A = this chain, B = another copy of it.
Amino acid sequence: MTPATAPALLRPEGRTLRADDRPCFADVRDAAARLAGHAHLTPLLRSRSLDALAGCELHFKAEHLQRAGAFKFRGAANAVFSLTPDQAARGVVTQSSGNHGAAVALACRLRGIACTVVVPHGAPHIKRAAIAREGARIVDCEVAQSARDAATARVLAETGGELVHPYNDARVIAGQATATLEMLQQAGHPADGRPALDVVLAPLSGGGLMSGTAIAARGVDPRIRPLAAEPEGACDGHDSLKNGALIRGRRADTVCDGLRAELGPLTFAILQDHRLEVLLVSDAEAVAAMRLLAERLKALVEPSAAVPLAAVLKHRERFAGLRVGIVLSGGNVDLDALPDLFALAAPP
């Protein structure tokens, strides 16, 4: 594993974090304070049998138990709670095929402000229902990113509302980073002077969680190595970082419905600075890991959330003997789809 420099691009003191700022570790601490009492302090789960299987010490940050069922609430609430009263009065707009939409809707309900979510056709039923349950207005659109962007722009123009982008937003990144900050606090301090964890893994999609994970990990201890895991069928993040140029417009083909987004300019820049390495796994490997999490950890997570464990199991030699943190990103899986999903995994 090669070393990486931690960017420390501090904003001018005293100014509120804006969507297009580059978030720093101080912003993560601010977010943690802002979320206290609103976000769940989710448990850090262990399983001896999974440790034995992986050959390392696994610490699972149970964000599938977060409010609205995913880490997304942390970013959404940090953005929504930090709006000025003027901004809040005009309401919030976002686009999401699922967890982020429900999270923003919940955060807006808690603050008592209007919320519109642009949802592409084909979004999982369970995720669409969660958005509706929180009382947000849903605007349907086509699946292509260009169609989502056009619909979002239309709603923004209509309402004058504030865009809370699912990942390409410094406030969202700083909020999502608090999952890793908490995980490192909960993992404690080994007696041998090593950091709380040697490696922290998160799934890579639009890059918000991964950017936050890298900023939080390096901020707590520069020796902690952030690593990403991504499905082979949506490997734009892997390819963008390898080629040093942002790839956009590809069609994702993966059952990991939470990982179909593309990196944005902000998250790409942050992850480039961290020289982030991305491990790829197949859908079958992701679903096998999801099944293991259900069997051994009794954690029902969505396929996207199992991608980092799949990467650890695929690259056991990379993690041998290490203390490894994994963000279990979300648990919003359609129970009726479980048999079909499990059929994708190689027989045990």
Contacts and interface: CB of A to CB of B under 8 A. Distances in A.
Nearest to A340: B339
A301 interface: yes
A298 interface: yes
A335 B300 CA distance: 11
Contact of A69 (B43, B67, B298, B339): B298
A113 to B, nearest CB: 19
A291 B45 contact: no
Contacts of A298: 64-65, 69, 299-301, 331
Interface in A289-338: 291, 294-295, 297-301, 331, 335-336, 338
A342 interface: yes
Nearest to A298: B331
Interface residues of A, number: 26
A52 to B, nearest CB: 10
A67 B296 CA distance: 10
Given A300-B299, A300-B300, A291 B335 contact: yes
Contact of A335 (B46, B295, B297, B336): B295
B65 A335 contact: no
Given A65-B45, A298-B301, A300-B294, A342 B331 contact: no
A46 B39 CA distance: 12
Interface in A24-50: 40, 43, 45-46, 48-49
A320 B40 CA distance: 25
Contacts of A133: 49
Interface string A117-129: 0000000001000
23 contacts: A40-B46, A43-B43, A48-B67, A49-B133, A64-B298, A65-B297, A65-B298, A69-B298, A126-B295, A291-B335, A294-B300, A295-B335, A298-B300, A298-B301, A298-B331, A299-B300, A300-B300, A335-B338, A335-B342, A336-B342, A338-B338, A338-B339, A339-B339
